[in-house]
Amino acid sequence: MLTPEDLANRFTYHAPSTPERAAAHAMIRGACAGLAAQIADLCPEGREQALAVTKLEEVMFWANAAIARARTTEDG
């Protein structure tokens, strides 16, 4: 069951609370951007290439959401 706290956590902006989290976000974005460039270079243009890049955007979103939404002992 979704609690009000769960919903608030899902729909709230989570600024990086530590330099380590900010760095983790940047590393995820960089890795995904690099793979996207390889997909653009190696895969023929078309639906499959577009879907691959779209799914990679989803990967980036969910990975960054995991970092942003994680609660740590210092978060309370």
What's the pTM? 0.81
Per-residue model confidence as pLDDT tens digits over 16-64: 889 999 999 999 999 999 999 999 999 999 999 999 999 999 999 999 9
Q: What are the residues whose beta carbons fall under 8 Å from the beta carbon of 32, sequence distance 6 or more?
A: 56, 57, 59, 60, 63
Q: What sign has the CA pseudo-torsion 51, 54, 60, 62?
A: negative
DSSP, res 75: T
Per-residue model confidence as pLDDT tens digits over 4-15: 888 888 888 888
pLDDT at 12: 82
Structural domain boundaries in the chain = 45-70
Contact 71, 17 (CB under 8 A): no
Instruction: Take residue 10 and report the two structure tokens written for it.
Output: 């899902």
